[in-house]
Chains A and B, each alone.
Chain A
């Protein structure tokens, strides 16, 4: 591209960014063609920002979902290779979810459109942007009621689109596949506020979730995960917030609760109001205009409706009233039933009665979220079907897939004479389009975001557009088309538009705009929030409210719960092989769909795990294998969204089923949101069965203390209980005789390294260097699995596909183990599910090292258990002898299957492994070296604590992972590891791991698990 020439002239950083920004537009203006001869040319004069071998970081905003987390992007030689959470971002505060990491794969996705396409018959023909834009301009100039269906957009683009639509006299329809409309509507009804409320989960001491899966979906999963982890983990004072989940199915969020009250679907309002009524007691006036509502609900009624005991509700009410500050979260995006808005209102009343407004829940924060009403889409379908619009444009949405087939969107859309899609990659909707104007990925394009009133973040391009695709960002396209239509021809770029947008909001009293803009680009955001939270009063509802249990379509004997997938959302992420191969945090299944069913229900029906069943609702039917899940009510079955794509690309198509096929196209009465928990189903075995592609071996710890817990009441009493050590007194004695004495776990002392008696060879010099170690706090870990994808991205870990996973060959270096301890779907009871991220333990006394015949795995003087890929012969003895089973083997050349340009994502600092070698977690040794080299160059200073951050720690939204030099007494790792909760997995084997786990803390008594009878 011509920009390459410019780059050789030695630009300043500022100019370079400009070049990045306008490159898309520039390419168009100069009529860039693909006929250019490619030559390998070294940088004669290297650009300032690119030093080969040194990474450059840019801040931007993750556009993966409406949460808009802050992002740091690492680029190497002009390619984005890793995305990370920006800890300075006011909403997400660091950390990134698995979906965020996977956006990188969408950037380099081979299923992206190679350029603008025009339909000719059944074929799409690639054309030049010039031609495509003229065509759009021509069609729009004569269009009747042109329509734009758009998903999430940043403020600038939103404004531009509004101007554009106004200019062409069109109609704009917002569409989010998953929408928080009932919450927004409830906030509007109850408080008259716009946007969705912001929650301060961190500072609540008692958290109630009415089926709100806030750490996986909803307004800000990363921020909420952080909040939950901080709230529910035990603090230095030995106090811990309690989390109770009310719902008919334990989502990932639910699995992190301390107690589960398995209420019937749709009874959230009754229970919330009953709790509020108990708290309000004799003074229902606290509920203001809703006092009459409170009077209508009491625990008896609610308990009967919800299928739990009255005592459970009283107990909840007592806790909720006494353990202030508390917080209740209404049914979230995963539990929309016919009374979703009312249920949210009920929870708002509960929060109000408990005095949480302005303390833990803020209605005036104007949190942005996905709030569009599905009802608009229903209207749009009618408009399209009746031929009202002859041009329909779609941006950032895939309604053909993400609306129930009953809505008839595809049929209506097909009747539109001219269909335009701005999709950057293939999907079911763009497949039908007549004109495709592929948008740029957010990492290539300019944009901005405002996740919250007062917070602005700029989304800046971090690299030139991926050259395989002639994409152009929609803002530029709209400006260009607008110029054609108006005939003015003064091309302004969307970059200028965004800048202008911010300049107009800039107050010159705060200094020069140019400086502020640069600062914005550097830090990624500007926070101008005011601290004050106003006290809000309840307003009388202007609409009639019914808090009764909603109806579910019959016939059918099991209620169907259709929920967004923690991995795929509503299916927009399904084409990412990382996410396809990421074990679902709940079921641990990859690559296909499953129906969740309680084991008891299944037993009664003679259904076994893996049986393929026909699920039939009044609206459709599909065949799907059953996965038995104790965390779901016996009268409920659940299906996740995101499966069953038909036109999205190579990694998404024909993987699983589309749950929307079972539900009707109905919008909730008050908010207009799509109702997903709406129907009952019958489940009939087909007689066929399949093996589930799961990474789970056993969900039971078999009393092996893999993930032990400690009761809150027992904290601070270490040593009182003889079982505390796991009952290995005699074993210790025996090991003492043999010269192997494990370091006692209960003192929390860091593992001795090197081992006594091993001070020879490499170890002889190991007295001074660091001993790298990691601590993982299981009281914080939510099992969200972000670290798994982060690791995969950082370390070039390949994906292997469904068939290989079925053979037990998943390659992931991080395995989030999930063990059930106590899960009771029949009554309100303590819940105890343990998550444990299992990685290479970098044992001081590693069983793998002694058995490797060729020293392919050995111990470095810094305590790392190194794996030398080039030296590995592939005997797999090390994997056999690893008690943690963290070694994975390259059974094939898996990386061969990675198509161009997906391989552009590969981290140049990490070897891509060949067929026949063993691999495993390296503690991100490349990052350690990078930091050590930097320190050496900076006058040979010491490596600072927390300077080395492995990918998993960086990604962890729950802040559960700490890495560092455990030799340094002041290091965080050393301090965290000194906890009395510290233990090491399978410690009696005397492997002396470098990974210290901190036990989960439970409110209930935990059975002491020792190896003695």
Chain B
């Protein structure tokens, strides 16, 4: 679709060669909020059905007991924790793109960061449900939160699960704030065009944004401050999540490499998920001019880099298991490759280690369909990575007589699939309620309006 009839052919470093004016930006981006197409409604219906499935399955589990999962002894953690870590990982790249790349003044972030941030918030919202789904007694889960109580009992601050509570809640608070703050000028832009109820809503949540100098001044300060605050969180959250494993003495978990390994994996999966989400948005809302191959190329490169880090982590784990000479550790990793769950391990290796090799080729990086397919592979691979870590390590632990096999149950699968719908549900609502591309920031990288074409709106 060609939104802009003509334009300058060469714009140097300008990332959006086909966008000319501020008005175009407003019009193109905000149009996404106006007329929902049939496709959107269809997707929303699917997502809503999935949400119903999700909560029915959860309700069933609460009614019957956690036994409706396939979990057992020795595999006390399974699909729920796998999916939890998966969504926490997904949550990473949003803040990475919005905060870290902002601090580094990376020119390609503007078009994608809003979607990435939304993804982050919704992914944390999804991830945060899984520890609750996972525990045996949901009604007592609040005991993990430190609050003054008559029993003078605090949570055990030595437990990585308590760290998790802090890490996840902090991350959610900061990323949600950051997301909201960054969106305020755009909400105001939407307010200016909206009518009726929507206008009222935007009026409230745009907090009276008028675009004055002093507002912009404060906005810029707050934004950079929050970016600086969010940056360490990107690294810390998944490090903490990785310590759920690394702090345990389970062979296959207990490794110092876990924190960087998990952070890299998180960025890897997060960026892949951004690609997976942005490709359809671009298509459905006709934002090709804003999301160009340049953006995808940059994201593909980030994927490639993190894929290499992750592959390196895999290989070093195998190598160190062998090199340690520790028989139990060796058996654990041998079992990963050739044991009962070999298929999961090989899925992980192929999807995360080998498929991304294709990203070395510029033609692939510039092919949106190819990237979309690869990103799906990475999503699958990263889910399996967590499955491999959680399940294969637990099912063959120290005591050979206590070894066991875990088979996920239908309820677990329903909750896993349902979590994607839950996430998708929120994301679909987001695409209709907030500008999916950061209007204000996009305008910053457009050339300043000239007087040649008088009469155009600013």
A and B assemble together: yes
**A interface residues (Cβ-Cβ under 8 A, vs B):** 696-704, 706, 804, 807-810, 815, 817-819, 836, 838, 847, 850-855, 871-877, 879-881, 883-885, 887-893, 914-918, 986, 989, 1011-1013
A989→B155 CA distance, assembly (Å)? 26
Given contacts A854-B143, A854-B144, A881-B248, contact A889 B399 (CB under 8 A): no
Do A851 and B137 touch across chains, with their CB atoms under 8 A apart?
no
How many chain B residues have a CB neighbour from A under 8 Å? 53
Pairwise interchain contact B143-A697, C-beta atoms closer than 8 A: no
Question: A876, B402: Cβ atoms under 8 Å?
Answer: no
Residue of B nearest to A985 (CB): B399
Distance (whole angstroms) from the CB of A813 to the closest CB of chain B: 12
**Distance (whole angstroms) from the CB of B140 to the closest CB of chain A:** 5
Counting CB contacts under 8 A, is B85 at the interface? no
Q: Check B153 against A880 for contact (C-beta < 8 Å).
A: no
Secondary structure class of chain B's binding surface, majority of residues: loop
| Chain A residue nearest to B244 in the complex (CB) | A877
> Known: A881-B249, A883-B249, A917-B137. Contact between A808 and B74, CB under 8 A?
yes
Determine if A697 and B400 form an interchain contact, defined as CB atoms under 8 angstroms apart.
Answer: yes
What is the CB-to-nearest-CB distance from B168 to chain A, in angstroms, rounded to a whole number? Answer: 13
Write the chain B residue with the least CB distance to A851: B159
Does B328 sit at the interface, judged by CB under 8 A? yes
What distance in Å separates the Cβ of B68 from its nearest Cβ neighbour in chain A? 8
How many angstroms between the C-alpha atoms of A885 and B396 in the bound complex?
11
Q: How distant is the Cα of A887 from the Cα of B75 in the complex, in angstroms?
A: 11
Q: How far is the CA of A713 from the CA of B187 in the complex (A)?
A: 85
Judged by a CB distance under 8 angstroms, whether B452 is at the interface is no
Residues of chain B lying within 8 A (CB to CB) of residue A879: 73-74, 76
Given A809-B73, A879-B76, verify A852-B401 contact (CB < 8 Å).
no
Closest to B165 in A: A853
Residues of A within 8 A of B136 (CB): 872-876, 889-890, 915-918
Residues 316-359 of B at the A interface (beta carbon under 8 Å): 325-328, 331
Q: Given that A851-B159, A873-B143, A873-B144 are known contacts, is A817 also in contact with B137, CB under 8 Å in the complex?
A: no
Asked if B73 and A888 make an inter-chain contact with CB atoms under 8 angstroms apart, the answer reads yes
Question: Assuming A698-B401, A853-B162, A885-B74, is B327 touching A893 (CB within 8 A)?
Answer: no
Q: A704-B400, A1013-B325 are in contact. Are A853 and B155 (CB under 8 A)?
A: yes
Which residue on A lies nearest to B163, using beta carbons? A853
Q: Which residues of A contact B135 (CB under 8 A)?
A: 873-875, 916
Chain A residues with CB under 8 A of B402: 697, 815, 817, 838, 884-885
Interface residues of B in 350-381 (CB under 8 A from A): none
Question: Taking each of B165, B328, B394, which has the highest tally of chain A beta carbons within 10 Å of its own beta carbon?
Answer: B328
Contact B72 A809 (CB under 8 A): yes
- Please measure, in the bound complex, the distance between the C-alpha atom of A701 and the C-alpha atom of B143, giving whole angstroms: 39
Does A706 contact B401, Cβ atoms closer than 8 Å? yes
Q: Is the CB of A702 within 8 A of B76?
A: no
The answer, yes or no, to whether B67 is at the interface (CB within 8 Å) is yes
Complex Cα distance A836/B143, Å? 37
Beyond A809-B72, A884-B398, whether A873 also contacts B137 by CB under 8 A is yes
**Stretch of B52-60, B87-95, B257-265, B403-411 contacting A (4+ beta carbons < 8 Å):** B403-411
Closest chain-A Cβ to B186's Cβ sits at a distance in Å of: 40
Residue of A nearest to B248 (CB): A881
Q: B residues within 8 A CB of A706?
A: 399-401
Is the Cβ of A892 less than 8 Å from the Cβ of B64? yes
User: How many angstroms from the CA of A884 to the CA of B402 in the assembled complex?
Assistant: 8
Contact among A808, A855, A892, A915 for B405, CB-based, below 8 A = A808
Contact partner, A853, options B76, B156, B247, B401, Cβ 8 Å:
B156
Q: Closest 3 interchain pairs by CB? A: A874-B136, A916-B136, A697-B403
Total inter-chain residue pairs, C-beta < 8 Å:
181
Q: Most chain-A CB neighbours within 10 Å: which of B71, B328, B402, B403?
A: B402
**Cβ contact within 8 Å between B143 and A819:** no
Set of chain A residues within 8 Å of B117, measured between Cβ atoms = none
Q: How far is the CB of A883 from chain B (nearest CB, A)?
A: 4
> Given B65, B74, B75, B160, which contacts A891 in the complex, CB threshold below 8 Å?
B65
Find the B residue at minimum CB distance from A858.
B156
Interface residues of B in 63-83 (CB under 8 A from A): 64-67, 69-77
Give B270-298 as 1s and 0s: 1 = Cβ < 8 Å from A's Cβ atoms.
Answer: 00000000000000000000000000000
Cα of A989 to Cα of B251 in the assembled complex, Å: 11
Mark interface residues in B144-178 (1 if CB within 8 Å of A CB, else 0): 10000000010110111110010000000000000
Report yes or no: A1011 in contact with B326, Cβ–Cβ below 8 A: yes
- B16 lies within 8 A of chain A by Cβ: no
Judge if B414 is at the interface, Cβ distance under 8 Å: no
Pull 19 A–B residue pairs with CB atoms less than 8 Å apart, ordered by A.
Answer: A702-B400, A704-B328, A704-B398, A808-B75, A809-B67, A838-B401, A854-B144, A872-B136, A873-B144, A875-B134, A876-B136, A880-B77, A881-B249, A884-B399, A884-B402, A885-B73, A888-B73, A889-B136, A916-B137
Bound-complex Cα distance A809 to B73 (A): 6
The one of B76, B143, B165 that contacts A876, using a Cβ cutoff of 8 Å: B76
Contacts of A1012 in B (CB 8 A): 325
Given contacts A701-B400, A815-B402, A851-B161, 11 further A-B contacts (CB under 8 A): A838-B401, A850-B158, A853-B143, A853-B162, A872-B140, A873-B141, A875-B136, A877-B159, A885-B402, A889-B76, A916-B65
Shortest Cβ distance from residue B61 to the other chain A in the assembled complex, whole angstroms: 10
- Provide the bound-state CA to CA distance between A851 and B400, in Å: 23
Residues of A within 8 A of B412 (CB): none
CA distance A385 to B19 in the complex (A): 103
Cross-chain contact B404 with A808 (CB below 8 angstroms): yes
Q: Are B161 and A883 in contact (CB under 8 A)?
A: no
- Asked whether A847 lies within 8 Å of B248 as measured between CB atoms, the reply is yes
Q: Which residues of B lie under 8 Å from residue A872 when comparing CB positions?
A: 136-137, 140
Q: Of all chain B residues, which has the CB nearest A990?
A: B249
Residue of B nearest to A706 (CB): B399
B397 at the A interface (CB under 8 A): yes
B250 proximal to A (CB < 8 A): yes
Q: Please tell me if the beta carbons of A891 and B156 are within 8 angstroms of each other in the complex.
A: no
Complex CA gap A853/B71 in Å reads: 20
Q: How far, in Å, is A233 (CB) from chain B's closest CB? A: 23
Separation of A804 and B161 alpha carbons in the complex (Å): 28
> Which B residues touch A855, using CB under 8 A?
153, 155-156
Whole-angstrom distance between the alpha carbons of A915 and B136 in the complex? 7
- Report chain B residues within 8 Å CB of A815: 401-402
Q: Complex Cα distance A893/B67, Å?
A: 9
Report chain A residues within 8 Å CB of B407.
807
Contact across chains for B400 and A700 when beta carbons are under 8 A apart: yes
CA distance A593 to B406 in the complex (A): 24
Which of chain B's residues has its CB closest to A918's CB? B136
* Closest CB in chain A relative to B320 CB, distance in Å: 16
State in angstroms the CA–CA spacing of A1013 and B327 once bound together.
Answer: 9
A706–B397 Cα gap in the complex (Å)?
A: 12
**Contact assessment for A704 and B248 in the assembled complex, using a CB-CB cutoff below 8 Å:** no
Contact A875 B161 (CB under 8 A): yes
CB distance from B81 to the nearest CB of A (A): 9
Interface string of B117-132 (1 = CB under 8 A from A): 0000000000000010
Residue of A nearest to B247 (CB): A851
Which of A699, A808, A853, A892 interacts with B65 by CB under 8 Å?
A892
- Name the A residues within 8 Å of B137 (CB-CB): 872-874, 914-917
Contact check, A697 vs B162: say whether CB atoms are below 8 A apart: no
CB within 8 Å for A1011 and B75 given contacts A838-B401, A847-B248, A872-B136: no
Contacts A853-B156, A877-B159 hold; do A885 and B67 have CB atoms under 8 A apart?
A: no
Give the distance in Å from the alpha carbon of A700 to the alpha carbon of B327 in the complex.
Answer: 14
Interchain CA distance A836-B160 in the complex, whole Å: 32
Instruction: Check A876–B158 contact: CB distance below 8 A.
Output: no
Smallest Cβ distance from A731 to chain B, in angstroms?
Answer: 9
Report the minimal beta-carbon distance from B415 to chain A, rounded to whole angstroms: 16
**Residue of A at shortest CB range from B250?**
A880
